[in-house]
A and B are shown apart, each in its own frame.
Chain A
Amino acid sequence: MTTVTDTPLVVVDDLSVRFPTGTGDGVVRAVSGLSFTLASGGALAVVGESGSGKSTAAYALLGLHRGTGAEVTGTVRVGGQDVQAADDTALRKLRGGVAAMVFQDPLSSLDPYQAIGDQIAEVHRLHHPGAGRRASRARAVEVLDRVGIPDAARRARSRPHEFSGGMRQRALIAMALACEPRLLVADEPTTALDVTVQAQILGLLRELREETGMGLILVTHDLGVAASSVDELLVMKDGRAVEHGPAREILARPREDYTRELLAAVPRVNVRRETVSTPKDDDSVLLEATGLRREFGRGKKTVTAVDDVSLTIRAGETVGIVGESGSGKTTLGRMLVRLLEPTGGELRYEGRDIGGLKDRELRSFRSELQMVFQDPVSSLNPRRSVGESIADPLRVAGRLDDAAIVARVRELLERVGLDPDAYHRYPHEFSGGQRQRVGIARALAPEPKLIVCDEPVSALDVTTQAQVVRLLGELQRELGLAVVFIAHDLAVVRQVSDRLVVMRGGRIVEAGPADTVYERPRHAYTQGLLAAVPRLEPAEATA
């Protein structure tokens, strides 16, 4: 379909992007001195931790920094066109015509008011001005069909909110296809999706590349995703390219420390947990849920988020809960610590039914059930110093005097690997991983017996993720805590869990000792989940 020429599809030479910062006269160097080329039909993954400049570099390929105040130097050539020098018309031709971009969040990236087919047709007409309305519509249906939307002709009339996440992502890819670009730039196209859907999308991209011969630049922070989709890898850190070469080679023999670190931190789903903590006492049941139920909404719109879940948590053990988005993990976790009141079923804590207790009645043992939250940003009050946040449970308990509280908070900060002097600093002065440590310290402060961790590491980079997971493991062992570890990432869960619970649609589909479930999954759903996990090893990736 595309004419294969000798000139590379993309040439980036000494690209630097700087953003002026709002306050003062400082600048953020998002990308500095980046150079790479991509041959026609080639596939390159740009990987690196958050904030390393991946998206910024990708945007430069389409000249999307124009008019935003960002300062771009160096040259970028896409399909022979100098992006920097191109005038507005030429740039518009390039966008979509030569290179198309697929953005991360599939919902917000589509116009909520227009039918998906119309949006695709509009983009098609932008690059085929001669095409009639009808022809563009037909093309839209065609590409939707191509990306695997069932009954495309009918679904083309749906609006984005009527599509599921995966379908939206497909629609965005279809939109790109509609213009027959020679290069597809995908900025984290699968981060918002479940593993199973992610696997489907990655497969689709692979297929399309083989079929149309278009080039692909995949921006991702997930090495697993990169490994399974491209031939070439570009590792970025702090706006610079750290390592660049064939994917297999880098994965097998990383040359740079940073790459090595990155690789080491990636959790593997097929590796057993090193030390399995044995519950102190087999009978010491801490928390017991029987037929737990939770509904949201009223009347016809009732959603049963958790349905008939029975679960036992013994002192000192770690229970992992996995399942795709919306399967009720968070809802279950919040019920376990009684942030939510169950609609039905029984919840016994140390033998006492706490399911229906009022806030006031809960107070006496609130401190024994704690939670670590997913989002390190919103889980800390931005207006209060982290020390105060950690001290809160101690102050509420009112057992210690001020000096003792401060001392204890400093001790906790140190324990989670932070500088004790961080007491008076505010959350925004910390990185994501550090904030999560603060969150853990806060949960530890009242000396709880159980901590529910709701996706405590999903918002973190692999390297930070590994550190935090390690910390949690240590603490659990040391303090003999019971931990409920919720995550959608099966590999992460495997690293910490003694027992595993797989949820789907609010129900438990499979439960058992972790290793058993991972190695011999019985339920088809669990099997599917495990199969969809992207593998890091090149051999596995191509398999």
Chain B
Amino acid sequence: MTGYFLRRALGALAVVLVLSAVVYATFYIAPGDPARLACGPRCNPEQIRQVREQLSLNDPVYLQYWHFLQGIVSGHDYSTGTGVLHCQAPCFGLSYQNDQQVTDLIVQRLPATASLATGAMVVWLLLGTGTGLLSALRRGGLTERVLTWLTLAGTATPVFISGLGLLMLFCAYLEWLPFPTYVPLMDDPEQWAWNMLLPWLALGLLESAKYARLTRSSMLETLAEDHIRTFRAYGATERSLIARHALRGAVAPVVALTAADFGSMFGNAMLTEMMFGLPGIGQLLVNATRTIDLPVVVAVVMVTGTAVVIANIVADLLYAAADRRVVLR
């Protein structure tokens, strides 16, 4: 087990490193000059030169990247002019745009994204697995058909359509809900929930379709397994068959996929965040991409990449825990 962990952790590290290097290289060759963008709309050459020096943009790219990595491991000192700013490890550097610590920027954005991902996860688990189970149990019936079509429609609706629809319906026409603004959970849990409701629904609905289908097929598969037949042959009721024997096995892939999806939400909920103006990681990334704020872009990609990799490890562990037949190697 320790060996497995060690290997996976090393693999994860490699993935994140490669990812960051690729990002660095890609953005390095992208047009646009970070110094000019940081300097402001009407910088003169002297100012640009100074800013470029300030941001160490004159160093060769590998050196810049190396310093960036160094900062992550051992922190970095920056001059603020009047003093020294120590950016503690893991230090992802300072934003080109306004010298904010990238680590802070990300930490500030995490709650919104985590709120979104968590809530959406609850939605898709409740809705997705719920409808999935229902359609598995009512297979062949009208309920199943209706649910199948609903989930198909769900997968076919991009978040910028469903989100728009929800906004129009609940905020503009019915006026049941305010236009969402992010309220931190700690400030006011109730308002947090009300404001997150629509983003949760929009993202959750999209994902729940996938989960409904997965749950259904997984349930059917499990119900067809031999050990279910055993208990059926001993006179167990259909309900107890499902509750006591089928559910656990059927849920294994769902749990594993949930973990993996939760991880990828950190990078993939971008559209939802843009749609609803949530100050999350995705929004940070899109904005940083547009201004070639390299430290921010690379840091966010590393963080989201790490989230994906860790989530995949967790998913595998959960899968192994839920399904005894799985062997980790």
Q: Interface of A with B (CB < 8 Å)?
A: 62, 64, 91-97, 100-101, 103, 105, 108-114, 119, 122-123, 126-127, 159, 161, 172, 175, 179, 299
Q: Are B235 and A96 in contact (CB under 8 A)?
A: yes
Residue B325 at the chain A interface, CB threshold 8 Å:
yes
Beta-carbon contact of B234 and A109 below 8 Å: no
A64 in contact with B233 given A109-B227, A161-B324 (CB within 8 Å): yes
A-B contact pairs, 12 of them (CB 8 A): A95-B232, A95-B233, A95-B235, A103-B226, A108-B227, A110-B230, A112-B227, A112-B324, A113-B248, A123-B236, A126-B236, A127-B234
Given A109-B226, A122-B244, A159-B324: A100 in contact with B249 (beta carbons within 8 A): no
Question: Which of the residues B226, B234, B249 comes within 8 Å of A126, measured between beta carbons?
Answer: B234
Closest 4 CB pairs of A and B: A92-B235, A96-B234, A108-B226, A95-B235
A108 pairs with B225, CB closer than 8 A? yes
Q: How many residue-residue contacts, CB under 8 A, span A and B? A: 71
Instruction: List residues 198-251 of chain B with CB under 8 A from any CB of chain A.
Output: 225-227, 229-237, 244-245, 248-249
Residues on B with beta carbons closer than 8 Å to the beta carbon of A97: 235
* Complexed CA–CA distance, A299 and B229 (Å): 38
CA distance in complex: A111, B232 (Å)? 12
Instruction: Give the nearest-CB partner of A88 in chain B.
Output: B237
Interface contact B234-A179, CB-CB below 8 Å? yes
Contact partners of A122 in chain B: CB under 8 A:
231, 236, 244
Point out which of B3, B229, B234, B323 has the most chain A C-beta atoms below 10 A from its C-beta: B234
Contact between chains at A175 and B234 (CB < 8 Å): yes
* With A95-B232, A101-B230 already in contact, 4 other A-B pairs whose C-beta atoms are closer than 8 Å: A100-B233, A110-B230, A119-B231, A175-B234
Q: Compute how far the CA of A62 lies from the CA of B231 in the bound complex, rounded to whole angstroms.
A: 12
- Are B233 and A96 in touch, CB under 8 angstroms? yes
| Of the residues A62, A112, A119, contact of B325 by C-beta under 8 Å | A112
Known: A103-B226, A103-B229. A299 touches B3 (CB 8 A): yes
| Distance in angstroms between the alpha carbons of A114 and B230 in the assembled complex | 14
Q: How far is the CA of A97 from the CA of B235 in the complex (A)?
A: 8
Q: Check A103–B232 contact: CB distance below 8 A.
A: no
Contacts of A109 in B (CB 8 A): 226-227, 229-230
Q: Are A161 and B226 in contact, CB atoms less than 8 angstroms apart?
A: no
Nearest to A59 among chain B residues (CB) is: B233
A265 CB, min distance to chain B CBs, angstroms: 30
Specify the chain B residue showing the minimal Cβ separation from A99: B233
B233 partner, pick from A101, A110, A161, beta carbons under 8 A: A101
Give per-residue flags for B306-323: 1 if the beta carbon is below 8 A from chain A beta carbons, else 0.
000000000000000001
Residues of A within 8 Å of B235, CB to CB, are 91-97, 126-127
Contacts of A123 in B (CB 8 A): 231, 234, 236
In the complex, what residues of B have CB within 8 A of residue A111's CB? 227, 230-231, 245
Task: Name the distance in Å between B227's Cβ and chain A's nearest Cβ.
Answer: 5
B324 touches A113 (CB 8 A): yes
Known contacts A123-B231, A299-B3: does B237 contact A112 (CB below 8 Å)? no
Q: Which B residue's beta carbon lies closest to that of A162?
A: B324
User: What's the Cα separation between A91 and B244 when bound, in Å?
Assistant: 20
Residues in B neighbouring A93, C-beta threshold 8 A: 235
Contacts A96-B233, A113-B249 given; indicate if A105 touches B226 (C-beta within 8 A).
yes
**C-alpha gap A112/B236 in the complex (Å):** 17
Chain A proximity of B8: nearest CB distance (Å): 15
Q: Are B325's CB and A161's CB within 8 A?
A: yes
Bound-complex Cα distance A297 to B248 (A):
30
Q: Which residue of A lies closest to B324 (CB)?
A: A112
Q: How far is the CA of A529 from the CA of B27 in the complex (A)?
A: 70
Task: Report Cα–Cα, A101/B230, bound state, in Å.
Answer: 8
Q: Compute how far the CA of A94 lies from the CA of B324 in the bound complex, rounded to whole angstroms.
A: 32
Whole-angstrom distance from the CB of A320 to the nearest CB of chain B?
33
B237 x A103 contact (CB < 8 A)? no
Nearest CB of A to B61, in Å = 39
Complexed CA–CA distance, A112 and B225 (Å): 11
Q: Which residues of A contact B324 (CB under 8 A)?
A: 112-113, 159, 161
Are A64 and B226 in contact, with the CB atoms below 8 A? no
Give CA–CA (A64, B236) in the complex, Å. Answer: 12
> Which interface residue of A105, A109, A110 has the most chain B CB atoms within 10 A?
A109
What CA separation (Å) do A96 and B236 show in the bound complex? Answer: 9
**B227 interface neighbour in A64, A91, A95, A110, Cβ under 8 Å:** A110
Docked pose: A383 CA to B59 CA in angstroms: 58
A103 touches B3 (CB 8 A): no
In the assembled complex, how far is the CB of residue B231 from the closest CB belonging to chain A, in whole angstroms?
7
When chains A and B are docked, how far (Å) is the Cα of A100 from the Cα of B248?
Answer: 25
Chain A residues whose CB sits within 8 angstroms of the CB of B229 once the complex forms: 64, 103, 109
Nearest CB of chain B from residue A58's CB, rounded to whole Å: 10
C-alpha gap A161/B231 in the complex (Å): 18
Q: In the complex, A172→B233 CA distance in Å?
A: 12
Indicate whether A112 sits within 8 Å of B249 (C-beta atoms), given known contacts A91-B235, A96-B233: yes
A112 CA to B237 CA, complexed, in Å? 19
Cβ of A196 to closest chain B Cβ, rounded Å:
24
Known: A113-B324, A159-B324. Is A62-B226 also a contact (CB below 8 A)?
no
1/0 contact trace for B60-80 toward A, CB 8 Å?
000000000000000000000
